[in-house]
Amino acid sequence: MSAAIWHDAENGAYSADLALWETLAEEAGGPVLDLGCGTGRVALHLARRGHATIGVDLEPELVAALAERAQGLPLRAVVGDAKRFELEHDVALALGPMQLLQLLAGSAERVECLRCIASHLTPGGRAALAIVERLPREPEGPPPLPDVREVDGWVYSSLPLDAVDIGEEIVIQRLRQIVSPAGELSEEENEIRIRTLAAGELEREGVEAGLVPLERLQVPPTDLHVGSTVVVLGKEA
């Protein structure tokens, strides 16, 4: 339960990329794969707009939460590894939102993932993969507010502390706090590391995996989130 709550709190409110994914889904005209779907921020958005969607995530708890929310929608949630998942049907569009590719260990794992994606794309299908190429040099605006979620009287707060580019990785730090219904506070620091990755490098890896670079799109920054580059790769028809 806690993994789903934290995922909702820290990711659920982000919406800057949704219009782009919706446009790509409309252009694809076929089933959509949301890889690293979590509790369904993107998958639910697309399914509610009538797009047949498959969500794949490594965490069973997150997939279970998505499956419960997807009832009555054209959405199927599947437990699977981004590098070696298996689907019953091919898709016209594969999405990798929220820097999914940068969570993998390095180039070899990314190529493995891209090959798996390519094997599940219909001829002429596309993969759209969001990456953060660099952090802003100086923070802009006021300090960020915490992401907060209340569940059954328990309050979950996640405060962004810092994001630091240390060369091969970007380290993202948060302070997670839980307040019980009785007012008791517990807290811990949480750290996520993503590999640094340039769009050109990802395009070269896509070619190695049998895909063709098509275009680069942009997700604009918000007050709380940096912008991202979306690398679009295609499978030959």
pLDDT computed for residue 141 by the predictor: 61
DSSP line for 82-110? TTT---SS-EEEEEE-TTGGGGSSSHHHH
Helix axis angle, 107-119 to 199-208, nearest 10°? 60
pLDDT computed for residue 135 by the predictor: 79
pLDDT computed for residue 13 by the predictor: 87
Give residue for tokens 């895909």: 211
pLDDT computed for residue 139 by the predictor: 56
As averages over each run of 10 residues, the pLDDT of the chain (237 residues) reads: 86 93 97 97 98 97 96 97 95 96 96 98 98 75 80 92 86 93 94 93 98 97 86 96
Domain assignments of the chain as residue spans, ordered by start: 2-134+197-234, 147-194
pLDDT computed for residue 166 by the predictor: 85
DSSP line for 41-77? HHHHHHHTTT--EEEEES-HHHHHHHHHHTTTSSEEE
Is the domain spanning 147-194 CATH 2.70.98? The answer is no
In the chain, the amino acid numbered 208 is: E
CA neighbor of 211 nearest in space, from 93, 37, 100:
93
CATH number of the domain located at residue range(s) 2-134+197-234 in this protein: 3.40.50.150
Answer yes or no: are the C-beta atoms of 81 and 109 closer than 8 Å: no
